[in-house]
């Protein structure tokens, strides 16, 4: 059994991988020199990259027994890739830290996380102190997202992404979640257990480009909301009730105007309300559709990912 696995999902990360490997194996080294951990492993999960990511991982695994990798058969997405790594860790280690490949998170925080875990925490969240290096747009949309989540009753840790440590106990609890729509930031706080936070400053990407373009970001946010809040559905019901009330007023008004014999001038308001109501119905249907889509995905019970190849993950290396 390993003491610690550092899980790193990678999608086309050939540019950063050498530096990431250098820094993260450095951290493992530091931890074992200090005697905090006995054995550690750096586990890359190649999320169906189309560049040389997997060749690099195999190379590192061959020359360094602390490095291993899983290669997913296709691009399953960041959350699924992370899950694949965590699932491996749940079976092989006492704790796992997840971190992005791009070195935007402070790797030295891992040392603090391990310390907090040694002090009894089951989940240690890495929390960004500020977002100076993010673009104005990303900073503000992210803030809006956290507020919206909170307003909808979602349990998310403010300014925490997927940089966290989980103990074996917490990992195994997480693995009991059957859903296919993964939004780990919302699922992990729902586990409970003893938690701690480690604060750090977020940096620029070491190299390469963000693998989260705007479209993916928006769909991730939508997934996050609809994955664990059904309140939007309730708001639709409320909106519907409001419209019924408005239409009662409109009917009374219409009858009164009709009795006065001036029906033609009502055309404008009628036209406007037809559009307004049409739009609201479409929106409501759309929101319901989001949830129906989720149910569809869940009932299919499809596997989350397939592992195509492994490197440096054998038991005898532990
Ligand atoms: N990633 C992945 N699969 C994907 C997209 C991204 O495994 O389909 C990984 C990526 O390699 C990185 C992490 O997820 O390690 C976060 O991605 P990125 O840094 O591009 O996102 P950002 O920091 O811009 O939100
Ligand atoms: Mg990044």
Half-sphere exposure for 318 (CA within 13 Å, toward CB): 14
How far is the centre of ligand 2, averaged over its atoms, from the C-alpha of 16 (Å)?
Answer: 11
Measured CA to CA, the distance from residue 125 to residue 200 in angstroms comes to: 11
DSSP code of residue 44: E
Residue of 280, 76, 102, 115 whose CA lies nearest to 198: 115
97 and 243 belong to one structural domain: no
How far is the centre of ligand 2, averaged over its atoms, from the C-alpha of 261 (Å)?
Answer: 66
211 and 249 belong to one structural domain: no
Predicted confidence (pLDDT) per residue in 11-62, tens digit: 999 999 999 999 999 999 999 998 888 889 999 999 999 999 999 999 999 9
Measured CA to CA, the distance from residue 18 to residue 28 in angstroms comes to: 15
Predicted confidence (pLDDT) per residue in 145-164, tens digit: 888 888 887 788 888 989 99
User: What is the structure's pLDDT at 68?
Assistant: 93
Query: How many domains, in total, are found in the chain?
Result: 2
Residue linked to tokens 């939508």: 222
CB contact at 8 A, 190 and 173: no
User: What is the structure's pLDDT at 153?
Assistant: 77
Residues flanking ligand 1, CB < 6 Å: 9-11, 13, 47, 75, 77-78, 81, 100-102, 104, 210-212
211 and 294 belong to one structural domain: no
Our CA angle for 221, 226, 228, nearest 5°, is 105
145 and 293 belong to one structural domain: no
How far is the centre of ligand 2, averaged over its atoms, from the C-alpha of 134 (Å)?
Answer: 10
Predicted confidence (pLDDT) per residue in 280-316, tens digit: 787 788 788 888 878 877 887 888 898 999 988 876 5
Number of helices and strands (H, E) in the chain?
10, 8
Q: Point out the ligand nearest to the CA of residue 211.
A: 1
145 and 194 belong to one structural domain: yes
Structure tokens at 5: 């696995």
Measured CA to CA, the distance from residue 172 to residue 166 in angstroms comes to: 10
Predicted confidence (pLDDT) per residue in 198-215, tens digit: 999 888 777 778 877 788
CB contact at 8 A, 41 and 66: yes
245 and 146 belong to one structural domain: no
173 and 80 belong to one structural domain: yes
Residue 145 belongs to domain with CATH number: 3.90.550.10
Please identify, by atom number, the ligand 1 atom nearest to the C-alpha of residue 104.
Answer: 23
How far is the centre of ligand 2, averaged over its atoms, from the C-alpha of 143 (Å)?
Answer: 17
Residue 264 has pLDDT above 80, yes or no: no
222 and 280 belong to one structural domain: no
162 and 256 belong to one structural domain: no
CB contact at 8 A, 199 and 127: yes
CB contact at 8 A, 284 and 239: yes
Mean pLDDT of 75-102: 95
How far is the centre of ligand 2, averaged over its atoms, from the C-alpha of 210 (Å)?
Answer: 6
Residue 266 has pLDDT above 70, yes or no: no
16 and 135 belong to one structural domain: yes
167 and 264 belong to one structural domain: no
Helix (H, G, I), strand (E, B) or coil at 186: helix
Q: Which residues surround ligand 2, an ion (CB under 5 A)?
A: 100, 102, 104
Please identify, by atom number, the ligand 1 atom nearest to the C-alpha of residue 8.
Answer: 15
Residue linked to tokens 């070195």: 103
Report the residue among 7, 14, 48, 102 best suited for mutation to probe ligand 1: largest number of ligand atoms under 8 A from its CB.
102
Structural domain including 290 reads 231-300
118 and 156 belong to one structural domain: yes
Residue of 282, 260, 258, 259 whose CA lies nearest to 270: 258
């Amino acid at each position: 059994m390993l003491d610690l696995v550092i899980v790193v999902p990678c999608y086309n990360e050939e540019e950063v991988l050498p530096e990431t490997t250098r820094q993260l194996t450095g951290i493992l080294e530091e931890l074992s020199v200090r005697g905090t951990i006995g054995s550690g492993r750096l586990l890359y999960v190649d999320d169906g990259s189309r560049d040389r990511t997997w060749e690099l991982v195999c190379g590192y695994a061959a020359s360094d027994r602390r490095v291993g990798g899983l290669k997913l058969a296709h691009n399953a997405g960041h959350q699924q890739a992370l899950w694949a790594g965590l699932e491996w860790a749940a079976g092989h280690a006492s704790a796992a830290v997840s971190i992005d490949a791009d070195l935007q998170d402070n790797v030295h925080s891992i040392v603090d996380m391990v310390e907090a875990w040694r002090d009894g925490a089951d989940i240690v969240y890495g929390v960004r102190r500020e977002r100076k290096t993010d673009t104005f747009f990303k900073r503000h949309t992210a803030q809006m997202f956290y507020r919206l989540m909170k307003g909808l009753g979602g349990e998310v840790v403010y300014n925490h992404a997927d940089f966290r440590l989980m103990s074996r106990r917490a990992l195994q609890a997480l693995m009991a979640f059957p859903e296919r729509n993964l939004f780990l930031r919302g699922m992990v706080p729902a586990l409970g257990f003893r938690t701690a936070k480690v604060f750090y400053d977020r940096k620029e990407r070491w190299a390469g480009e963000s693998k989260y373009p705007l479209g993916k970001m928006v769909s991730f946010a939508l997934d996050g909301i609809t994955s664990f809040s059904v309140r939007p559905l309730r708001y639709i019901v409320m909106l519907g009730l409001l419209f019924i009330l408005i239409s009662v007023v409109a009917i009374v008004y219409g009858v009164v105007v009709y009795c006065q014999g001036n029906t033609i001038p009502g055309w404008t308001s009628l036209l406007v309300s037809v559009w307004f109501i049409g739009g609201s119905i479409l929106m409501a249907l759309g929101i319901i559709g989001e949830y129906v889509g989720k149910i569809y995905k869940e009932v299919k019970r499809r596997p989350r990912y397939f592992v195509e190849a492994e490197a440096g993950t054998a038991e005898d290396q532990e």
